[in-house]
Amino acid sequence: MTHDASPAAPTAALPERQTVPCDAPTTGRLIGIDLARGLAVLGMYSAHVGPDVTVGGPVGFLLETARGRSSALFALLAGFSLVIITGRPRPRTGRAGRQAVVRIAIRAVVLVILGYALTALDTEVDVILSFYGLLFLAVLPLHRLRAATLALIAASGALILPQLLYSVRKSIEVGAWADAVIQADPLARISGTDGVVELLFTGEYPVLTWAPFLIAGMAVARLDLTRPAIRARLALTGGALAVVGYGGSWLALRLVPHALSVISSATGSGSASSAWWSDTVGESESGTPLAWLLVAAPHSQTTFSVLGNTGVALVVVAACLTVADRMPRLTRWARPVSAVGAMALTAYVLHIVALWLLSDVWHVALAEDETMAALPVLLGFIGAAMLLATVWARYFRRGPLEYLLHAATRPAWHVR
């Protein structure tokens, strides 16, 4: 007679026996997601290394299309990765769930530190990693929610948070409370930046308006992306959001009296006619007018921009998933881009370090020609990243920094 005959014994042990180690693979790596992430990284290369968008023509259009929208795609895919770590399609529970949460928290801290280390190199790149670290922590409490709930929260955030950010930034313009917070903020003293105030409100990627991207990515990760119908609905939803975001901005800027002239005056750009989709409108030089909320430029932090950028990101994700599922030959040709996406952190960090090391050569090249001189450099960066990533992927499962980040999360395995 064995102890298994007792119904109480296996019931008590069942939760621990069914606990999945937090480092166990969930659904395997999605090639389409890697492809989308690779496009996001290379798109950020174009913004940091490429020619100015004023070069015009097809090159200028492609560069302008990548501006801001690449980082939004990267943020959306960061939310996707968070769900993969915490459990997809269903969140992990018990010990494995607690370990996954700790893993995310450790990753977030490492990203914050790494982001400030790269910022200290003093390149012209607005490093996004510290913002991502805080974003991970901000959205982590939502990781158990269903796709529909996450989508509703993301949509609500897109509608509400930009207005809240605008109000906070206006209060910073007229008040001194932010200076007091910065002076008392240990992160600001250690990093030599504006610390939490910058991460939440005043930076290039404020948590307040970038959280909807991650939450939308979490919602996408909860879907059954193997089904063509789901991918089609994802693409249609993305297209609709892009039309509402960019089209709504275009319409509002022309229907609201004096909106274009007010924005042109505030930015000193001479014309705000492209503010519905382009960063060429610039930034406000003398306070931010209320009409700015009608803009949809990628880094404008408005509802229109969040909706439009999310729409583009969803269309790209749906397209990449479809290519990976239905077009094996094209998937093989795009393998270098997918390899970059599989080691996105390494590729992102290396291009900033390279810009720092080559800063003198870079400035000499730009002194000769501020437009097309940067194009060969951009192509060189892209080619080097794809070559190194492809070679590395032949021998290793993760990128160099991805291995280190994975090792940094090992303490999570001791969580009980």
Contacts of 316 (CB under 8 A, 6+ apart): 36, 39, 73, 238
Q: Which of 17-31, 137-151, 201-215, 396-410 has the lowest mean pLDDT?
A: 17-31
DSSP string of 304-329, one letter each residue: HHHHHHHHHHHHHHHHHHHHHHH-HH
Distances (CA, A) of 302 to 82, 158, 237, 401, 409: 25, 8, 19, 33, 35
Sorting pLDDT into bands at 50, 70 and 90, what band is 175?
confident
Range 95-118 burial, b when 16+ CB lie within 10 A, else e = bbbbbbbbbbbbbbebbbebbbeb
Question: How confident is the model over 391-416, as a mean pLDDT?
Answer: 94
At 273 the pLDDT is 82
Torsional sign, CA 114, 120, 124, 128: positive
Q: Are the CB atoms for 209 and 162 separated by under 8 Å? A: yes
Render the burial of 178-204: b for 16+ CB within 10 Å, e for the rest: beebbeebebbeebebbbbbbbbbbbe
Residue 17 is predicted with a pLDDT of 36
**Is the predicted pLDDT of residue 334 greater than 90, yes or no?**
yes
Q: Token pair 């909106």 is at which residue? A: 259
Task: Give every CB contact of residue 229 below 8 A, 6+ residues apart in sequence.
Answer: none
- State the pLDDT at residue 338: 96
pLDDT exceeds cutoff 50 at 2 = no
Between CA 254 and CA 275 the distance in angstroms is 11
CA atoms within 13 A on the CB side of 206: 22
Token readout for 172 is 């910073």
The pLDDT value given to residue 347: 97
- The alpha carbon of 227 is separated from its chain's Cα centroid by a whole number of angstroms, namely 25
pLDDT at 336 over 80: yes
Tell me the per-residue pLDDT of 49-61, one tens digit each, with 9 for 90 and over.
Answer: 888 877 778 888 8
**What pLDDT does residue 285 have?**
60
| pLDDT, tens digit, 9 for 90 and up, residues 191-228 | 999 999 999 999 999 999 999 999 999 999 999 999 99
Mean pLDDT of the chain: 88
Confidence class for position 18, pLDDT limits 50, 70, 90: very low
* pTM metric for this prediction: 0.90
The pLDDT of 13-20, averaged and rounded, is 38
Q: What is the pLDDT of residue 94?
A: 93
User: Percent of the chain having pLDDT more than 70?
Assistant: 88
Rg over CA atoms, the chain:
22
As a whole number of angstroms, the distance between CA 115 and CA 101 comes to: 21
